[in-house]
Amino acid sequence: MKTARLPDTDSIDELARFWDTHDLTDFEDQLEEVAEPVFRYGQKGITVPLAPEEIEAAQQVARSEGSDLAGLLHGWIIEKLNEVLRTRQPGEAK
């Protein structure tokens, strides 16, 4: 009998359907402990639509920098925000 594998998805709906029909104890050998928080409370997320080729290009850059995609994009956004804020004149509309 083939051992069932944990789903490789971030979809809440897919994960909910999976766990509705499976038991965590059947997957103990596939679980791993994580030291960092999985959920960050108090932070808001947004969705940025990108074409598949844009996502692939950004993933390649992230891998080359030893980062993940979210970390790379977060860094770029913060960098650009700081740049824009530095160039604004005092009293300029926000």
Q: Tell me what pLDDT residue 57 has.
A: 97
What residue spans define the domains of the chain?
12-87
The overall average pLDDT reported for the chain is 87
Question: CB of 7 within 8 A of CB of 13?
Answer: no
pTM: 0.50
Q: Tell me what pLDDT residue 93 has.
A: 63
Question: CB of 31 within 8 A of CB of 21?
Answer: no
Residue 1 confidence (pLDDT) above 50: no
d(CA 40, CA 75) in angstroms, rounded, equals 17
